[in-house]
Structures are given as structure tokens and as C-alpha cells.
Structure 1
Amino acid sequence: MRALTLSMAALAAATVAVPAMAQELQRPSMLLQEGTLLEVSAEGRSTRVPDIATIDAGVTTQAATAAEALAQNNAKMTRVIAALKGAGVAERDIQTATISLQPQYRDQTNGQPQQIFAYMASNTVSVRFRDVARSGAILDLLVTQGANTISGPNLGISEPAQALDEARIDAVAKARARAELYAKAAGLRVDRILSISDGVTPTPFPMRADRMSVQSAGLMVSPGEQELSVSVTIRFLLK
């Protein structure tokens, strides 16, 4: 009889607990019923004049032997790097990018195996210019000192943090204005922001020449203007 009484008590406790649990599960949906959820995505932008340029300057040489090709290449690259330093480019802004040595084969004829007739050596350095206005003159100097391949320039902003913050402010303002528009159209008002998420949108600057031979001097580099953008997604509660 005592065991039956305990079971009845446990059953009563479980009966009370079930509605309580159901109320806890229903609480989020009840909160959503207090207003209308609106999710808005917007993109903010800011612009800056690029203040840094990066190029790849290379030297390519060819000789009958690998040792000779490398020796000639090293001599020319030494002159190129010396010219860069002489033009005021800091040593920390000159970095070796690639070094390669490749055999050159004659075309196969009459079923004969290919034969090596020369070796081609190449050495490329990545150079940063912190004075974009001087980059054209330095490129001319590189060509006169023996650099025969140029890739770039890539123009960028050395310290983009402030510009990105401006883009974020612009994005939030645009999202808020759009939310106000939707709320007004629906006969509601914006009550508060529930969440904000953001992301930087890569905005490549379209000034790049893919690895080309440079034949003439008088190069001119125009920095133009670079755009930075940030996208935000904001959830508003409308009432």
C-alpha cells in the first residue's frame, strides 16, 4: 500500500512538471509573437587614395650551361637590387619571390629524343613602393638596370582600419534606413536591434598587368581611388 502511495505521488509530480516544461519550450515563440522579426542586409563603402604599390620585378637569362645561366642572372639581379636601394627603397620592402632554372629542349625531329641546348634562369623580387608617385620612375630605373619582366603594380592601402570603420558606419546607417522604410510601409515601428553580423567584402583594385615584358621607359602609375566595402546583416524587431 505504501508503494502504491509513492507511485501516485511521483505520477502527480510528473503531471505538474510536464505543463511547466511545455511552458518553457513555448516561451521563445511567445517572445517572437511580441513583434515582427525583420532581417536586413546592407553594404557600406568608403574610399581612399592608395598609398602603397607592390610589383614583381624579374630577370631572365639564358646560357649554354646551368652554371653560366645562374651566374649571369645573379649579376643582373644584383644590379637591379642595388638600383632599388639607391632609389630609396628600403631593404625590408625587397623580398625574393621566385628563383627557377629550367632546361631548354630542341624540338623533337625524326623520332630522335629531345636534347638540351640551353638553360634558362629567372629570379623575381617583390618590391613595395611606399611612395606611389615615384613608382613609375623606379620602374623605369629597373628596366634600364636589366629587369626584363614586370608584374603589377598592385595598389593598396597600408592602414585600412579607419576606412573600414567608416564603411561599417555607412552599412549600419543604410540597414537602419531600410528597416525604417519597411516598418513604415507595414504600419509598424523599429523597436530595437536583435543582432548584427558583418564581413569585409574584398574589393580588388583593377590595376594589374599580368607578367609582361617591359620594352620602353616613361612608365606612369596613376593611383586613382580604391573602394573598401563592408557588408552587414542586422535583425530588427518591429512592433
Structure 2
Amino acid sequence: MAQAANIQITAQNPVIELSISEEVNSRPDTATFSTGVETKAATATQALRDNSRQAKQVIDKLKSLGIAEDDIQTTGINLNADYQYDRKSETNRFVGYRVSNQVQVKVRDIDRLGMILDALVSSGGATNLNGPYFSINDDSALKQLARERALANGKKQAENYAKASGYSGVRILSIAEGIRTSAPGPMPSARMMAVANESVPVAPGQIGTTITLNISYEMTR
């Protein structure tokens, strides 16, 4: 069995503790959204059958638009009794059943995202749409760049403190890292966009990848 060892580094001189954050912005290359269908019928069996037929239509439409099968994932199938409020009796009246089927979709070519969303709502049979949420498929290079900038900035600041205190330089005692990614918020729902009867505009903007380093330096002579 492997065991982690706690190593305590003892400083002989004053210690500087800094928290340095660096952000690198980049255009996203991946978008994720959810879509699906909702159906109503007098019986649960009929509602489920109708929903299954329309959900297959949505999935087939996604595949015809170039979405890979591995990038389409069912996230929820819900069957619930459907009630309608009666104002005269002030009671909920049972009217049948409601079924919803939701899938999550990943688009790897966001230049086609607007066309895909429009096709789903206008001819693909989708009755709801949420998203998209933008991301970067592989942000390792961005993280490395932010990390290098944070290290350089931290060293520069620590050396300034050391020289101002009569020391010649610094050495690193410890480093702790935190990562945060910020992205634009989701677009309006498909029901709102379908009313406008226009092509869906998509502005992916940029995503910020932030590295925060908590670094301890010992001042050196």
C-alpha cells in the first residue's frame, strides 16, 4: 500500500504568503443543451406511446443534423397525472396524463448550433429547449498558460516584498492550486424563440479559465 507523507518545510527567514489569480480567455468550441417533447393523453399508455414516437423523431432529427449518437443522452422520462383547475368548483379536475422525455445534446461544431436549434423547433418535433451552455473540450493548454502567468506574477510580487525588506530573493515553500471556469449564461427557452419565427442567433462569446495559486515564499539573503 502507498501512503502519503506530510512533509513540513521549516523556514529560517520571514515567509510571504500570496494568492495569485490569472485568467485566460478563449472562444468555446463545444455547446450543450437539453431538448425533448411533452405529450398529453387520456390514458397513461397512450401518453407514453405518443411521447415515445415524438421523442424518436427528435433523436432521429438530431442524428440527421450530424450529432453523433454518443453525444445524445436521455436525461429523464416522466409520467404524471394531468389536472386542470376548475374555477367554479375551485378544485383540480383530472383530465389525463402528461409524459415528458428530455435528452441532453453536445454540439462540437458551434458554428452550426443556431441552425440545429432552429431545425429542432421548426421541424424536429421538439416542444422545449434549454441552454446552450458553452465549454472548451480540452482546456489543458489554457490552464497551463494561466498557471505559468500566475507563477511568474507571484514570484515578481514576492521578490518585490523581499527586496523592500532587505532580502535578495525568495524560494517557494508550498503551492496550492484552484481552478475556475466562467462561461456565458444559457439562452432563452425554445418557446420564446419560436414565437419570433426567426433564425436562432448564437453568440458564444468567450470563456475564462482562471488558475488561483496560493504560494508561500521564504525570503532569502
TM-score, structure 2 length as denominator? 0.86
Q: Say whether residues 1:84 and 2:62 are aligned partners.
A: yes
Q: Say whether residues 1:232 and 2:213 are aligned partners.
A: yes
- Quote the offset at 1:212 in angstroms: 5.3
> Could you tell me how far apart the structure 2 residues matched to 1:141 and 1:217 are?
11
Runs of 4+ with deviation above 6 angstroms: 108-113
SS in structure 1 at match of 2:50: helix
Give yes or no for contact 1:196–1:232 (8 Å, CA) kept in 2: yes
- Quote the offset at 1:115 in angstroms: 3.6
Query: Which residue identity lines up with residue 141 of structure 2 in the other structure?
Result: Q
Q: Which residue of 2 aligns with 1:4?
A: none
Q: Deviations over 1:114-133 (max 9, x none)?
A: 44112111111100000000
SS in structure 1 at match of 2:40: strand
Q: Deviations over 1:131-168 (max 9, x none)?
A: 00001100111002211211100100001111111111
Q: Deviations over 1:25-60 (max 9, x none)?
A: xxx9xx64x321111110122122111000001111
Q: Say whether residues 1:50 and 2:31 are aligned partners.
A: no
SS in structure 1 at match of 2:202: coil
Q: Which residue of 2 aligns with 1:61?
A: 39
Counterpart selection for 1:152 from 131, 134, 147:
131
Query: Which residue identity lines up with residue 85 of structure 1 in the other structure?
Result: K
Counterpart selection for 1:70 from 48, 52, 69:
48
Give yes or no for contact 2:39–2:47 (8 Å, CA) kept in 1: yes
Q: Output the aligned Cα RMSD.
A: 2.2
Identify, as 1 or 2, the structure richer in strand. Answer: 2
Q: Note the residue ranges of structure 1 that are not aligned, 5 or more in a row.
A: 1-27
TM-score, structure 1 length as denominator? 0.80
Q: Which residue of 1 aligns with 2:4?
A: none
Aligned identity (percent) is: 35
SS in structure 2 at match of 1:107: strand
Q: Which residue of 2 aligns with 1:135?
A: 113
Number of residue equivalences: 209
Give yes or no for contact 1:97–1:124 (8 Å, CA) kept in 2: yes
Q: Say whether residues 1:94 and 2:68 are aligned partners.
A: no
Identify, as 1 or 2, the structure richer in helix. Answer: 1
- Quote the offset at 1:209 in angstroms: 3.5
Counterpart selection for 1:171 from 150, 160, 163:
150
Q: Note the residue ranges of structure 2 that are not aligned, 5 or more in a row.
A: 1-7
